[in-house]
Amino acid sequence: MSSSATTAQEASRRRTFAVIAHPDAGKSTLTEALALHAHVISEAGAVHGKAGRKATVSDWMEMEKDRGISIASSALQFEYAPEGHEGEPYMINLVDTPGHADFSEDTYRVLTAVDAAVMLIDAAKGLEPQTLKLFKVCKARGLPIITVVNKWDRPGRTPLELVDEIVDEIGLQPTPLYWPVGEAGDFRGLARLDVEGEVEEYIHFLRTAGGSTIAPEEHFDPEAAAMKEGPAWESAAEEAELLVADGAVHDQELFLQCVTSPLIFASAMLNFGVHQILDALCQLAPSPTGRSSDPKAVEAATSAIDADREVTDDFSGVVFKVQAGMDKNHRDSLAFMRVVSGEFDRGMQVTHAQSGRSFSTKYALTVFGRTRSTVETAFPGDIVGLVNAGSLAPGDTIFAGRKVQFPPMPQFAPEHFRTLRAKSLGKYKQFRKALDQLASEGVVQILRNDARGDAAPVMAAVGPMQFEVMQARMLNEYNVETTADPIPYSVARRTTAETAPDLAKQRGVEIFSRTDGELVALFSDKWRLQFIEKEHPNFELYPMVAD
């Protein structure tokens, strides 16, 4: 078999997706439950009771364990074969993302590296603000979405009410694959619908101690289900049939176009409905496809550059995250790369598109939460951690063979600003080292100017919790205690070297240089910005989100 044929075959069995949701919808618990059903772990990390609660394997940062929320994205890879599946198992690349709005930029980066998304909705709360924002990002990127209503073991809303809300709020038509038997808080099992929308069977779940192991299932045909569950089954069947009669039947093309969304009800905590989610992803989610180059890079190229990269072409990959401090035993950084095309072999010589420099990929890992293992070969869709690839930043392209350069990754517009200082002058060297590393990871944007000096740079962030992460990681990873003081600015704009001198003379404005060389103007408030724009229409001011 040829190399391109092998690559095509391997790509076809990859499923790379992200889990997105509002905070506390159960993303990390679902991530563990999926790994449990793939037999990668023997017991889920989330157990009942605060005193006995363990951290999930995908949460590695101390702040995540203390607060019970995901702050940084985490990549997990494992094989999974649905029941009755013939041939090689699917290779699952699952990325658990932060749910908190303060870390939406990290989530956006992840969504540039996946082929589908699982949108997790709390059965009691329904659609929440962050869920709506993330859905819009998925829609804009053309990412197909599988909708999972989680926590059906707790009191909540009616299933038809949740479906109506999804249709009304985001214009996405849920198409039920598995409909709940029993109202929210009385989760008995799932009615499985076939491709025509007919109720085919009843899957009854049996609880396990603390929900820490796979829940056994019992299967019944519709007649036996009616005898076993009585009115609960009749109600579930009627509701499912009502939706089907209204046209809510799965259509693969409409799903891939983000018009419809397969719908599954589950309880990640009890492990009810979990392997049904994996089965749906394997059967319905798209396999990896090629990617187009950055038009600006193609236009500016002085030598040949690929306009597109198909999965069977030479190796290429895009970096979507850089992370250090994942393990105190390893004082290194990892550049998380999505393989876009070709076959990646550890030790291969690759080129960094942005700098033109060549380097060897001797240290390459797959990462399961905090657990690392060396990767020898990877294919399109796989997530690989490159160790100590210091020149790489989110959005960078690496390649072998003919040059390719994928579009850059936009930065979100910061809305919060604070100065950062080391409490001890004796820690200045460590302070600078930590600052450079964490800025390259994109934890916050770092702004400097001559007036403030290198000892008091300004942090710019989407949300204030990013400042807490920055300070916590400086302390835990570099032993540098810091202070973060607010400054009187709330709006930022990019500007030019021509405009900056005159703009700096305006009241309520301060000019900074960002780490990537961009000039950034901070304004006291939006009214001050509007006044300056009106009085000086010749000033060049641009949104902070890159083109």
- Apex CA 397: angle with CA 395 and CA 400, to 5°? 170
Give the three-class secondary structure for 284. Answer: helix
Tell me if 97 is assigned to a ligand binding site: yes
CA proximity to 380, closest of 114, 35, 116, 80: 114
Element housing 514 (H / E): strand 509-514
Tell me if 216 is assigned to a ligand binding site: no
Answer yes or no: are the C-beta atoms of 444 and 461 closer than 8 Å. yes
Q: How many residues does the chain have?
A: 547
**Is 374 buried (19+), middle (13-18) or exposed (0-12) by CB count in 10 A?**
exposed
Angstrom distance (rounded) from CA 109 to CA 98? 11
End-to-end CA distance of the chain: 42
Beta strand ranges found along 167-315 (DSSP E): 173-181, 189-193, 199-205, 217-220, 260-265, 291-292, 308-309
Tell me if 39 is assigned to a ligand binding site: no
- 398-435 in b/e burial notation, b at 16+ Cβ within 10 A? bbbeebbbbbbbbbbbbebbbbbbbeeeebeebbbebb
- Apex CA 80: angle with CA 54 and CA 149, to 5°? 60
Q: Which residue has the tokens 């950062």?
A: 420
Tell me if 98 is assigned to a ligand binding site: yes
CA proximity to 211, closest of 262, 258, 150, 129: 150
- 304-321 in b/e burial notation, b at 16+ Cβ within 10 A? ebbeebbbbbbbbbbbbb
Question: Residue 111's CB: how many other CB atoms inside 10 A?
Answer: 20
Known binding residues? 96-100
Known binding residues for GTP? 96-100
